[in-house]
Amino acid sequence: MIPSPHGPSRSGRWLRELVRAGRWHRRLLASGLAAGATAAALQALEPPAAPSVVVVTAARDVPAGSRLGDADLATVRYLPAAVPDGAVTDRHQALGRTLVSGARRGEAITDVRLAAVGRVEDATTGLVQVPVRIADPEAVALLRPGDIVDVLGAGSPGAGDGGPQSARLLASAVRVVTVPRVAESATAIAGDGALVLLSTSAATASRLAGAAVTDRLSVVLRGR
């Protein structure tokens, strides 16, 4: 049998192609491994992400005296050095609490902005919040949320026979919820006093509202 003159050459070309393909795949595999090693090395050299602290903030402008709901709150990550003292870091610590001073959108909620737990109205206690105008705004400026006060009433000057008016106790041991800021206005200068928000029973709130029409109200601080 006479061998084909083209057999050996074709077989040789096939082997050479096979060798070249193997070399190309080896180079491709080596390149992939090198790229992976480089990426791993770069990742190892990268500095770790800076630590941060979750802080509860106001999601919108919230006025003083508001009971905070879920829509009022947001969370923002702060660098540890930038976290305000007393910042609230858990939404549940603020939900349902009363804001004692207004907060702008984005402001951090801190412990001093919240009325103490158990010191505001609650459906299970029957307490309500009532705004009371105290005759002396300087006395109101001394009050802080959580203070325990008595509210006294005396007839307005010029009422009755013009004699001295004795004060009567209108509310005993009620809690201060918030003290709104008093602006320098014509009403304040005229001596119309300043508002304070109190937590008390519905009956006492009704009595205070009635006395506000005829009496000048004052407060006696009992404790904090």
- Tens digits of pLDDT across the chain (224 residues): 445 555 555 556 655 665 566 566 666 666 666 666 666 666 665 666 678 899 999 999 987 767 789 999 999 999 989 889 989 999 998 998 877 777 899 999 998 778 765 444 444 457 788 888 999 988 888 888 778 899 999 876 555 555 556 788 999 998 888 776 654 443 444 457 888 888 888 899 899 988 888 899 999 988 66
Work out how many domains the chain is built from and give that number: 2
Same domain, 158 and 206: yes
Query: What is the reported pTM?
Result: 0.47
User: What residue numbers bound the domain in which 84 lies?
Assistant: 53-113
**CATH (domain of 82):** 3.90.1210.10
In a shared domain, residues 109 and 137: no
Residue 136 lies in a domain: yes
Q: What long-range pairs does 165-172 form, CB within 8 A, spacing at least 24?
A: 167/218, 170/204, 170/207, 170/208, 170/211, 170/215, 170/217, 171/198, 171/200, 171/204, 171/207, 171/208
89, 113, 137 — which closes off a domain?
113
Regarding whether 169 and 90 lie in a shared domain, the answer is no
